[in-house]
């Protein structure tokens, strides 16, 4: 995708979305900052990758994150138009995110399930 020239608000949105998908700052802080920006946005500013997902799942496996942290993170990402999904992975990042955001509709997150998801995301 060709990058267009971004204005200051779009640059800030992109920076916050990168922070969100990498979960490099507390989720509540990032969400509060994103709330200050208009919700609607045309196009993708950032891309959620299998690497982002495996990083968060690995942190969960190590006990750095709880199930609710992962679910809240996935929910914060799932419906944002400005976040795209990595191409060439047969929809695996999108499917994984959906499962993480909706454990009551899919299945609860466990350490074993996290390991399975990571293996699936890393397989070709």
Give per-residue pLDDT as tens, 32-44: 999 888 877 777 8
Query: Is the four-CA dihedral 31, 8, 97, 48 of positive or negative sign?
Result: negative
Which tokens go with 96?
Answer: 């994984």
Q: How many residues are recorded in the chain?
A: 124
Domain boundaries, the chain: 8-122
What is the pLDDT at residue 88? 67
What pLDDT is attached to residue 2? 43
pTM comes to 0.89
């Amino acid at each position: 995708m060709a990058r267009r020239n971004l204005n200051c608000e779009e640059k800030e949105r992109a920076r916050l979305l990168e922070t969100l998908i990498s979960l490099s700052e507390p989720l509540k802080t990032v969400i509060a900052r994103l709330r200050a920006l208009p919700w609607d946005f045309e196009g993708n500013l950032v891309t959620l990758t299998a690497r982002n997902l495996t990083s968060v799942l690995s942190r969960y496996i190590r006990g750095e994150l709880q199930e609710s942290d992962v679910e809240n993170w996935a929910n914060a990402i799932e419906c944002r138009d400005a976040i795209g999904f990595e191409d060439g992975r047969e929809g695996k990042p999108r499917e994984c995110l959906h499962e993480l955001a909706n454990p009551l509709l899919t299945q609860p997150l466990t350490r074993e399930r996290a390991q399975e998801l990571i293996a699936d995301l890393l397989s070709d």
